[in-house]
Structure 1
Amino acid sequence: MLSIRYRVGGFVFNKRSLLGRSHCPYCRKTLGWYELIPLVSYLIQKGRCRGCKGPLSVQYPVVELISGVVFAEVPSRLKEIIGGLAPTLLEGSAFFEISVLCWLLFSTILILIAVIDFRDRVVPDELNVAIILVGLIYAAALSAAPDIGFTGGSTIGKFALLLGFQKSIIINRLLASFAAIAFFGIIIAGSRGRAMGMGDLKLGGAAGIFLGWPDIALSLALAFILGSLFSLPLLFTRKKTMKDTVPFAPFIVAGMFTLFFFGEELVSGYLKLFGYFN
């Protein structure tokens, strides 16, 4: 609902978005609770308003489905990651609960960013600030957790040690943020702002604080791969040209989720492909 109620130039978190009642964008009818059941209401109403029969955006069920899957799978994936590094932290410690909370907040913000950038071509600064704040809390939890700090809390587990900078959580996060900002800064400067926007740079820098190194680098690599897989067919079929712009934040978000859920398997498979890991 926050992404739907957001208006360019305004705030994502305001009285209207947090406390306002949902209504049909056509007839302005206030919706009842039975019209707001995720996925179910959209399917029962066949994608239309119950009152005026106006067509509802497919954004509603898509975002609801993605959000549901993410919220259902994040805890189990974190249990796998933490259990593989420091099983003792799964019991008798608040670390697991704090990690789940931080990742769910981070995931919620990422979904908001993806939807807003896809629709409005903008990444609100307040969402980047929110990522930084959640990232600092997560980094503090990692620093205080025994046995897991040596990987920097990386989602690729022991493979993170191959790229170094894991001895200090602070240095790790600062490096990740700087690397992302420098990477996007070079692209923006080289293309004079045509290839990337400042919103992508800010998102990369903020996410670096949460993800750390090397996760931010791998996430961005996956983002460009996913972006290419989406854009190249459009160019070949001439549905898009090189002059057209495509919002990139959704691909950054997709890259981060891909790394979180499948990163360890992807890195392992890549190393096996070149004979570096058996």
Structure 2
Amino acid sequence: MLSTLEWSAAVLLGLLVGSFLNVVIHRLPTMLQRRWEVECAALRGEEPPAQPPYNLLVPRSHCPACRASIPWWRNIPLVSFALQRGRCAACGTRIAWRYPVVELACGALFGAAAWRYGVSYPALAWAVWGAALLALAAIDWDTTLLPDDITLPLTWAGLIGAALGWTGVPLADALWGAVAGYLSLWSVYWAFKLLTGKEGMGYGDFKLLAGLGAWLGWQALIPLVLVASLVGAVVGLVLKATGGLREGRYVPFGPFLALGGLLVWAAGPKTLLTWLGLPA
């Protein structure tokens, strides 16, 4: 039986991880861009451009507007945002709501995992899984990138978790879930490209669905994709009607795949199909 103290500790850990996820979401795309620039320079036989160190730890957290360093006591999840009324303490620039929302969502995911599995390795595994989906969804929404640095470890972690018995999914189901997840969207991609000459999605979507299949099993893929497609279509129509579509008039699919995965985990594939009015 999970005690209140244990559950609170799980939520607190999730809030702290959520604060770190904000760093990942903000910095990882820039890190990838710099890595690609170095690789392109090497292919051209040129010296890579000189750049100051930039990773998840360096430089220290700072305000994007005034570049003032943020001390730890002004970087406490949720609390600092509330005390500073959503503004930088140095220059008064408004802080994006993304930061507390990510922290709160990650805290909720860790709390849900602890509530469901107690203090255990499965709880930790599913909590980290949820945090990875949260980071991928935010990065994809901002940049239309689903970094291999997260999607590939996600797939391997799902297979290893199944082998260890932490995910509750038989290893065979996890393996075929990864295979079917990748090949299904890969097939849709090529069919769409052959018919229209355009690319309807990126390779990151294939890898993300492979990771979700590894964690949830092949049985979860159909309800997951149906929910992702339905919600994505609704959001796309709303953005089109309100003029909110970005340049190129596209909506990234990764956030909706992540949402579908979380709903399957929370409710189960059969329940999700019932909600959609389909035979379970």
Quick check: 2:159–2:175 contact (8 Å CA) kept in 1?
no
Does residue 127 (structure 1) correspond to residue 132 (structure 2)? The answer is no
SS in 1 for 2:164: helix
Quick check: 2:132–2:154 contact (8 Å CA) kept in 1?
yes
> Which amino acid counterpart does residue 105 of structure 1 have in structure 2?
V
Quick check: 2:178–2:210 contact (8 Å CA) kept in 1?
yes
Quick check: 2:178–2:214 contact (8 Å CA) kept in 1?
yes
Distance 1:212 1:18 in 2: 35
Distance 1:10 1:209 in 2: 30
Please list every run of 5 or more consecutive structure 1 residues that lacks an aligned counterpart in the other structure.
80-95, 146-151, 155-168
Please list every run of 5 or more consecutive structure 2 residues that lacks an aligned counterpart in the other structure.
1-22, 36-52
- 1:1-278 alignment runs, 5 A limit: 1-6=23-28, 7=30, 8-9=32-33, 16-18=55-57, 20-78=59-117, 97-142=120-165, 153=168, 169-192=170-193, 193-237=198-242, 239-240=244-245, 244-263=249-268, 266-267=271-272, 269-270=274-275
SS in 1 for 2:120: helix
Change (3 A) 1:226 1:207: same
Query: For residue 19 of structure 2, what is the aligned residue in structure 1?
Result: none
Change (3 A) 1:220 1:203: same
Distance 1:65 1:135 in 2: 24
Deviation at 1:174, TM superposition (A): 2.5
Distance 2:208 2:223 in 1: 15
> Which amino acid counterpart does residue 264 of structure 2 have in structure 1?
L
Cα deviation 1:241-274 (Å, max 9, x = unaligned): 9951111111111111112122368348459x67
Quick check: 2:159–2:174 contact (8 Å CA) kept in 1?
no
> Which amino acid counterpart does residue 158 of structure 2 have in structure 1?
G
Change (3 A) 1:102 1:183: same
Change (3 A) 1:268 1:255: closer
Between 48-57 and 209-218, the greater mean CA deviation after superposition = 209-218
Q: Structure 1 length as normaliser, TM-score?
A: 0.74
Change (3 A) 1:188 1:5: same
Between 239-248 and 33-42, the greater mean CA deviation after superposition = 239-248
Distance 1:37 1:70 in 2: 18
Root mean square deviation, CA, Å: 2.8
Between 255-264 and 64-73, the greater mean CA deviation after superposition = 255-264
Cα deviation 1:151-205 (Å, max 9, x = unaligned): x835xxxxxxxxxxxxxx3331222122212221122112225321111011111
Q: Structure 2 length as normaliser, TM-score?
A: 0.74
Distance 1:76 1:270 in 2: 24
Cα deviation 1:91-148 (Å, max 9, x = unaligned): xxxxx71211211121121111111111121011010122123212211122xx8xxx
Distance 1:248 1:264 in 2: 20
SS in 2 for 1:16: coil
Quick check: 2:141–2:255 contact (8 Å CA) kept in 1?
yes
Deviation at 1:15, TM superposition (A): 7.6
